[in-house]
């Protein structure tokens, strides 16, 4: 019987490639956001509220609510060209998504960038506010956790 050499896993190299991919993917955000906001503004959308919830190793966007001033309206039809960089890919590719799909993808990307693992264990929930008029996206993020306090005494 011969011993088969086991491959050496270089975690530093793996993490470096992941950080490089993350940086290149994040670089796409400003242009994708600008194209999405242009489509929303052209439809008269002034604000979009996106709620999310996750826990137990799964999470999802719960609701996407577009507004024109204080009136909730339907999501505009049409498409938004969004550049996406799949994990491990060298070049981004253009995808034509509905405005709702583009918002959902953008929210998942932002959650990954700021709170990777938000859907794990006790999870997290919150709300994105897309202020189309101001050109901003705000995140109200609430993380859940289980706490335990233990005491032991001996006299």
- Check residue 151 and report its DSSP letter: -
- Estimate the share of the chain in helix, then strand, then coil, as percent rounded to the nearest 5: 30, 30, 40
Does the pTM of the predicted model rise above 0.75?
yes
Strand pairing class (58-68; 47-55)? antiparallel
What is the SS3 string spanning 109-135? HHHHHHHCCCCCCCCEEEEEEEECCCC
**Segments making up each domain of the chain, as ranges:** 11-143
pLDDT at 2 over 80: no
Q: What CA–CA distance (Å, rounded) separates 108 from 99?
A: 14
Q: What CA–CA distance (Å, rounded) separates 50 from 66?
A: 9
Residue 45, H or E segment = none
Task: Tell me if 132 sits within 8 A of 41, measured CB to CB.
Answer: yes
**Digit-coded pLDDT (tens) for 74-107:** 999 999 999 999 888 889 999 999 999 999 999 9
* Per-chain mean pLDDT for the chain: 93
Q: Half-sphere exposure (CA, 13 Å, Cβ side) for 9?
A: 3
Q: What local confidence, expressed as pLDDT, does residue 87 receive?
A: 82
Count of beta carbons in the 10 Å neighbourhood of residue 100 = 18
Query: Highest-confidence range of 89-98, 110-119, 126-135, 146-155, by mean pLDDT?
Result: 126-135
């Amino acid at each position: 019987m011969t011993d088969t050499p086991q491959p050496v896993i270089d975690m530093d190299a793996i993490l470096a490639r992941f950080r490089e991919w993350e940086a290149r993917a994040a670089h796409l955000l400003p242009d994708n956001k600008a194209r999405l906001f242009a489509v929303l503004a052209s439809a008269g959308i002034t604000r979009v509220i996106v709620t999310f919830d996750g826990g137990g190793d799964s999470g999802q966007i719960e609701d996407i609510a577009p507004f024109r001033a204080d009136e909730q309206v339907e999501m505009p039809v049409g498409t938004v060209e969004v550049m996406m960089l799949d994990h491990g890919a060298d070049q981004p590719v253009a995808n034509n998504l509905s405005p709702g799909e583009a918002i959902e993808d953008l929210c998942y990307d932002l959650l990954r960038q700021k709170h990777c693992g938000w859907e794990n264990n006790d999870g997290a929930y919150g709300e994105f506010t897309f202020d189309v008029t101001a050109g901003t996206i705000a995140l109200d993020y609430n993380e859940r956790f289980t706490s335990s306090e233990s005491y032991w005494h001996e006299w």
